[in-house]
């Protein structure tokens, strides 16, 4: 399965919706989209992982890299994760303490509108 990436803007917040599998092969697509979004001036970003069926450490690395980029512009990245398997990967690697994680896109967007 490939990785589908949709992006949109909601009230000034950049939203990336992922569907499929994020691994070494597909993660560069996500990295590229994140870089594009930051280049467009969107520094507060929601990444919706609800339809992600698989993620490995390369996917995590792209998210951490994206966070570094937006933080250099005083921005932030919030995640939407509802699948226990995906949450487990974030718990094991300690990233639940790095990213704000929400159970819906609306909650994540609200967190960034502050």
Partner 1 sequence: MDYRVNENGQKCASCVLYTTGQYLEIKSESANLARIREHIKQIGNHCNLNEKQIFDIQVAVGEATANAVEHGSPRGSDNCVRIGFQCDCDALTITVRDEGKFRRRMPAPDSENENFRGRGIPLMLALMDKVTIDEAKDGTCVVLVKKIGNGNHDKRA
What is the binding site for partner 1 (CB under 8 A)? 1-2, 21, 23-25, 54, 56-58, 60-62, 64-65, 68, 84-85, 89, 92-93
Strands 13-22 and 76-80: unpaired
Beta carbon of residue 10, minimum distance to partner 1 (angstroms, whole number): 27
Angle CA 5–26–49, to nearest 5: 45
Residue 98 structure tokens: 């790095």
- Which CB atom, from 57 or from 103, has the smaller least distance to partner 1? 57
Beta bridge partners of 101: 79
Beta carbon of residue 35, minimum distance to partner 1 (angstroms, whole number): 12
């Amino acid at each position: 399965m490939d990785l589908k990436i949709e992006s949109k803007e909601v009230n000034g917040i950049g939203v990336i919706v992922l569907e499929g599998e994020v691994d070494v092969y597909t993660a560069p697509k996500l990295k590229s989209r994140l870089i594009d979004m930051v280049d467009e001036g969107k520094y507060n970003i929601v990444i919706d992982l609800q339809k992600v069926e698989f993620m490995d450490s390369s996917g995590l690395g792209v998210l951490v890299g994206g966070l570094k980029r937006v933080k250099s512009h005083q921005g932030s990245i919030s995640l939407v994760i509802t699948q226990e398997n995906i949450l487990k990967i974030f718990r094991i690697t300690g990233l639940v303490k790095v990213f704000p994680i929400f159970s819906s896109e609306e909650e994540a967007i609200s967190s960034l509108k502050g």
